[in-house]
């Protein structure tokens, strides 16, 4: 991007123009608002609303994430900067983040009870990062496993060696 990350707010007009073109091309009945959050992550959020906003969140938010990814690439964000820009509709991400935190709490209890690793279902990099951070604050070890869209988080019991690979599906994988 060539600019410091704190200059992301200067991309607001560019982001709005890109999204205007995407919305027009897709014929979605949605509007959006770009909000700058100085000194926080994400630095910019885009909130979609309108009659078709629920279409952005179907299939686990695939279209919403696709828009976010496309815009991130178009404004030149590097992969390590993608957390600076976040798209949401109908509080989908907020609700999903809460659900993931609850799932993390339940998985931590199960792993502590059974002393067996727990492999989560595959999820996006954002969701995996949330889980890794949640477990770090709990003092539990995690690792990611799998490739591409099948990448998942593995939670290890306290005192176990997370460098030992798991055999497929005999580890309490949640379906």
Angstrom distance (rounded) from CA 3 to CA 57: 31
Find where tokens 């070890």 sit.
141
User: What is the pLDDT of the chain when averaged over all its residues?
Assistant: 85
Signed CA dihedral, 158, 121, 102, 87: sign only: positive
Provide the token pair at 62. Answer: 């695939």
Residue 51 above 80 pLDDT? Answer: yes
**Considering the entire predicted model, what is its pTM?**
0.70
Which pLDDT value is given to residue 162? Answer: 55
| Cβ-based neighbour number of residue 131 at 10 Å | 22
- Domains, the chain, with CATH or none: 5-90 (3.30.300.20), 96-156 (3.30.1370.50)
Residue 6 above 80 pLDDT? Answer: no
Angstrom distance (rounded) from CA 67 to CA 73: 10
What pairing do the DSSP bridges indicate for beta strands 85-89 and 44-49?
parallel
């Amino acid at each position: 991007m060539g600019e410091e990350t704190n200059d992301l707010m200067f991309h607001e007009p560019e982001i709005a123009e890109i999204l205007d073109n995407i919305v027009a091309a897709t014929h979605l009945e949605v509007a959006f608002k770009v909000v700058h959050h100085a000194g926080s992550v994400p630095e910019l959020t885009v909130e979609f609303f309108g009659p078709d906003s629920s279409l952005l969140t179907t299939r686990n938010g695939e279209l919403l994430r696709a828009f976010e990814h496309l815009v991130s690439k178009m404004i030149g964000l590097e992969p390590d900067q993608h957390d600076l820009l976040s798209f949401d509709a109908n509080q989908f991400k907020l609700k999903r983040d809460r659900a993931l935190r609850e799932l993390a709490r339940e998985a931590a209890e199960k792993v502590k009870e059974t002393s067996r690793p727990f492999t989560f279902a595959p999820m996006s990099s954002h969701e995996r990062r949330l889980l890794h951070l949640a477990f770090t604050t709990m003092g539990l070890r995690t690792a990611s496993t799998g490739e591409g869209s099948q990448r998942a988080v593995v939670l290890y019991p306290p005192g176990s060696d997370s460098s030992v690979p798991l055999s497929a599906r005999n580890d309490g994988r949640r379906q």
